[in-house]
Amino acid sequence: MDEKDEAAFEELAFRLATRALGDTNAPSDAPNAVESIAKRGISRTARLYNERQLLARVPPELLCMIFSLLAMDDRIYVTLVSHRWRKVCLNHGSLWADINTAFPVGFIKWQLQQTGSTPLRITAEPLHPSDADRIDLVAANMGRAQTLDIYAYSDIISRVILNPASHLERLNITGIAHGVLAHELFANGVRWPALRELYIHGTGLPQYVSL
């Protein structure tokens, strides 16, 4: 403890003693009251210090796993808790890889910057013709998509998934108004080489195409 800390501690002790003298029935009780208050304060400080030290020892990878269990809104709040937590959050692109077109376009663009080259898990529902910015963002990032859940009109779905998607492993399509997907999606060989799961609801396949 340096001189500055000692002076601050002395000032704190003086304030505690002054309060104790005012709160006790007799001046003789003041030393005991000050000692009791100081002990409680030191004990509380020690607990907080130990808790902070414990959190400081949690590996970033484990923190990232814990944060990944939170909703996206809560992950944003986590970045405000401490400098270390903010650094962990912003340095792990996977925490921001859940793209949902229900979010504001500005936030989606920020997510895409934070994720770097991390594969994306995209939820695009519902998409309407008026959602041009969101449609363009999803279409432009299909090359990074690992999963895509899309709920839209068939022409919008076709426009989005006609883009190269070599990393796409799961595709869940739900159509609006029971349209028909573009024939080009099923022409010219395998379009999604990594695809493992394909679900199609509420929209039709082009004539002569079967899965």
At residue 84, what is the residue type?
A: R
Provide the residue ranges of all domains of the chain, joining segments of one domain with +: 3-56, 58-95, 97-211
Give the model's pLDDT for residue 17: 63
Q: How far apart are CA 40 and CA 85, in angstroms?
A: 29
Buried b (16+ CB within 10 A) or exposed e, 132-144: eebbebbbebbeb
What is the model's pLDDT at position 173?
94
Residues of the chain with pLDDT under 70: 1-6, 8-35, 37-39, 41-56, 188-190, 208-211
Query: Does pTM surpass 0.75?
Result: no
In this predicted structure, what is the pLDDT of residue 53? 64
